[in-house]
Amino acid sequence: MSEQEMIERYIYDVVKRVPQDCREEIRMELQSLIDDMCEQENSSVEEVLQKLGEPAKFARRYRDEGSYLIGPDYYDDYVWIVKIALFGIGISALVSAVVNGITNSGDVINFLVEFFGEFFETLINGSFSVIGTLTIIFAIMEKKKAKLDIKPGKKWSVKDLSKNVATVNSWTPFLLPAVPDKRAVISRGDSVFSIIFTIVFIVLLIFAPQVFGAFHYEGGKLISSTCIFNLDEWDRIVPLFVFSLFVGMVNYIVRLVIGYHCKTVMYSTIITNTVQIAIAFILLNYFPFFNVDFANQVKSMMEITTFSNGDILFYWGSKRFDNFMLLFIVLISLLDIGVSLYKTLRYNNKVDKIVEK
Amino acid sequence: MEKDLLESLLSELRRGTLILCVLSQLDQSRYGYALVQSMEEKGVSIDPNTLYPLLRRLEKQGLLSSEWDTSEAKPRKYYKRTEYGEQIYEKLVEQWKLMSVGINELLGGSKDE
């Protein structure tokens, strides 16, 4: 490699890592810097470049500091939630692998092939999509926070130098977040369980919806199976359904990170439940969400002609059944909102008032 | 291990004062490498890979202005303090003097207590 080429390579390696708009200038500056150093220090190009150090490190100093995808404030929570998510995916991969193995196998070898095939497929696909989504959620939180951080600070001026440093910063002890009332604390265990449960549910709905169904065995062999969901329309149902669960999961993550009932959690809960009711309404009214034939298929599996009217399957497929499901979802949602409203207003209201003073 | 720690503590100590040193030399136009040399002559060494990015940052903050001289064979970017940079520099010097008095007191003054 000639000396000129070595210089070119070095400059290229630095310049490609700095923002587009200052590349040309930095290239010119580096070129004359290296020339000067060689001339005046009587050094070889190799020695000079050695002294300037690794291009990546050099370039890093040119970039603005403090630009994180996920900064130190959220990093621990992020890592923690990713671990929980991976755990959840592991469970769902296992469940769908077992179900897939049982429903598709004839002998042991076939079972193992189906089992491991499904296991790794779900594990890999699930991990990528869930970690990707979590990263996006946290990156957005980081960006929003960066904006919030910048907002209250006023522009620094020379005059501030002679003043007490503390006055430059607009933080005051009144901004301290309250120590939450014990009764307003949201159990981490509950949130974690909900997140894992939601992930397992989402992964299964996407990769193995047939898990939710009835299976008919005779002498250890699967004779027939039927799914409670309307798999004919599944491609159109699943995005909405998963979106609804996903909104729920974001809500649980907010709860986990914040850790107690406060206005943020309250708004998040209200929005989440409203979205979920709306989606449930659409799913139950505009699609046959459930498999209309499920009850009949179960009947033929069980070799009976009718269900008693105490049995939920007696009402399967009727408008009454869908309305009952919707009512059930609305009640659960209202209860969730009610609890959050009560705990926020009852235990956290006085805290907000101190801040206002 | 111990040497690394000392190195990193020293560079941390130096880092805070670099801006003051750089600003002090830019009452007249200088280009990057000339600045490295003039600081070195006075016993304050600075690596070009620290100085060059720093100069750009100070320019972005409005403390320095720059101009390219392309009349020579080698094109060079000359930096100089702006009026705003001048004000900041004076305040920094004032603070530095106060601080060094205080620190000297601390380092040599323990017997007074």
Residues of A in contact with B41 (CB under 8 A): none
Give chain A's mean pLDDT: 81
Q: Is A58 on the interface with B (CB under 8 A)?
A: yes
Closest residue, chain B, to A62 (C-alpha) = B53
Q: Which range (A110-124, A174-188, A325-339, B55-69) has the least confidence?
A: A174-188
Q: Which of A35, A62, A158 sits opposite B74 (nearest CB)?
A: A35
Q: Which domain holds residue A23?
A: 3-62
Indicate whether A329 belongs to any domain: no
User: What is the pLDDT averaged over residues A82-107?
Assistant: 81
When comparing pLDDT for A17 and A173, which is higher?
A: A17
SS3 for B78?
A: strand
Give the span between the Cα atoms of A240 and A276, in whole angstroms: 10
When comparing pLDDT for A162 and A266, which is higher?
A: A266
Say whether A28 and B56 touch across the interface (CB within 8 A). Answer: no
Say whether A35 and B52 touch across the interface (CB within 8 A). Answer: no
When comparing pLDDT for A155 and B102, which is higher?
A: B102
Best A21, A22, A36 residue to mutate vs chain B (most B CBs within 10 Å): A36
Say whether A61 and B53 touch across the interface (CB within 8 A). Answer: yes
Closest residue, chain A, to B73 (C-alpha) = A32
The size of chain B, in residues, is: 113
Largest CA-CA distance found in chain B, in angstroms, rounded: 62
Indicate whether A12 belongs to any domain: yes
* Burial of residue B22 (number of CB atoms within 10 Å: 0-12, 13-18, 19+): buried
Interface A–B counts its CB contacts (< 8 A) at: 55
Q: Give contacts of A 140-179 with B, CB under 8 A.
A: 158, 161-162
Confidence of residue A84 (pLDDT cuts 50, 70, 90): confident
Largest CA-CA distance found in chain A, in angstroms, rounded: 100
Closest residue, chain A, to B72 (C-alpha) = A32
- Identity of the highest mean pLDDT range in A144-158, A284-298, A310-324: A284-298
User: What is the pLDDT averaged over residues B108-112?
Assistant: 61
- Identity of the highest mean pLDDT range in A149-158, B44-53, B103-112: B44-53
Indicate whether A46 belongs to any domain: yes
Specify the pLDDT at position B101.
93
Residue B76, min C-alpha distance to chain A (Å): 7
Closest residue, chain B, to A158 (C-alpha) = B88
Tokens, residue A311: 């049995």
Question: What residues pair up with B67 in beta bridges, in sequence order?
Answer: B78
Q: Which amino acid makes up residue A25?
A: E
Confidence of residue A333 (pLDDT cuts 50, 70, 90): very high
ipTM value greater than 0.90: no
Per-residue pLDDT tens digits for A117-130: 888 988 898 888 88
Phi, then psi, of A250 in degrees rounded to 5 = -55, -40
Per-residue pLDDT tens digits for A236-247: 888 999 999 999
Residue B64 CB: number of other CB atoms within 10 A?
A: 22
Say whether A33 and B32 touch across the interface (CB within 8 A). Answer: yes
Indicate whether A44 belongs to any domain: yes
Give chain B's mean pLDDT: 88
Question: pLDDT above 90 covers what percent of chain A?
Answer: 13
Per-residue pLDDT tens digits for B13-51: 888 889 999 999 999 999 999 999 999 999 888 889 889
Specify the pLDDT at position A170.
62
Q: Which of A25, A30, A158 sits opposite B88 (nearest CB)?
A: A158
Residues sharing a CB contact under 8 Å with residue A30, sequence separation 6 or more, in sequence order:
A10, A11, A14, A15, B52
Specify the pLDDT at position A327.
92
Confidence of residue A195 (pLDDT cuts 50, 70, 90): confident
SS3 for B73?
A: coil
Q: Give the H/E segment covering residue B79.
A: strand B76-81
Q: Is B80 on the interface with A (CB under 8 A)?
A: no
Say whether A161 and B91 touch across the interface (CB within 8 A). Answer: yes
Residues of A in contact with B87 (CB under 8 A): 158
When comparing pLDDT for A184 and A219, which is higher?
A: A184
Q: Give yes or no for residue A165 having a pLDDT over 60.
A: no
What is the number of domains present in chain A?
Answer: 1
Q: Give yes or no for residue B61 having a pLDDT over 80.
A: yes
Specify the pLDDT at position A54.
87
Q: Which range (A300-309, A326-335, B89-98) has the least confidence?
A: A300-309
Question: pLDDT above 90 covers what percent of chain B?
Answer: 56
Q: Is A33 on the interface with B (CB under 8 A)?
A: yes
Closest by alpha carbon to B81, among B104, B65, B102?
A: B65
Indicate whether A49 belongs to any domain: yes
Closest residue, chain A, to B53 (C-alpha) = A62
Q: Which of A29, A51, A162 sits opposite B52 (nearest CB)?
A: A29
Indicate whether A23 belongs to any domain: yes
Three-state SS annotation for chain A: CCHHHHHHHHHHHHHCCCCHHHHHHHHHHHHHHHHHHHHHHCCCHHHHHHHHCCHHHHHHHHCCCCCCCCCHHHHHHHHHHHHHHHHHHHHHHHHHHHHHHHHHCCCHHHHHHHHHHHHHHHHHHHHHHHHHHHHHHHHHHHHHHHHHHHCCCCCCCHHHHCCCHHHHCCCCHHHCCCCCCHHHECCHHHHHHHHHHHHHHHHHHHHCHHHCEEEEEECCEEEEEEECECHHHHHHHHHHHHHHHHHHHHHHHHHHHHCECCHHHHHHHHHHHHHHHHHHHHHHHHCCCECCCHHHHHHHHHCCCCCCCCCHHHHCCCHHHHHHHHHHHHHHHHHHHHHHHHHHHHHHHHHHHHHHC
Question: pLDDT above 70 covers what percent of chain A?
Answer: 85
Residues of A in contact with B50 (CB under 8 A): 61
Instruction: List, in order of start, the domains of chain B with CATH numbers.
Output: 18-112 (1.10.10.10)
Q: Give the H/E segment covering residue B67.
A: strand B64-69
When comparing pLDDT for A218 and A344, which is higher?
A: A344
User: What is the pLDDT averaged over residues A4-13?
Assistant: 90
Q: Which of B33, B87, B91 sits opposite A33 (nearest CB)?
A: B33
Q: Is B95 on the interface with A (CB under 8 A)?
A: yes
Q: Give the H/E segment covering residue B47.
A: none
Indicate whether A92 belongs to any domain: no
User: What is the pLDDT averaged over residues A189-210?
Assistant: 86
Q: What is the CA radius of gyration of chain A?
A: 30
Phi, then psi, of B98 in degrees rounded to 5 = -60, -45
- Which residue do the tokens 């009512």 mark? A327
Q: Give yes or no for residue A324 having a pLDDT over 80.
A: yes
Specify the pLDDT at position A66.
53
Residue B49, min C-alpha distance to chain A (Å): 6
Q: Which of A22, A52, A161 sits opposite B49 (nearest CB)?
A: A52
Q: Is B32 on the interface with A (CB under 8 A)?
A: yes
Q: Which range (A50-54, A288-292, B42-46, B101-105) has the least confidence?
A: A288-292
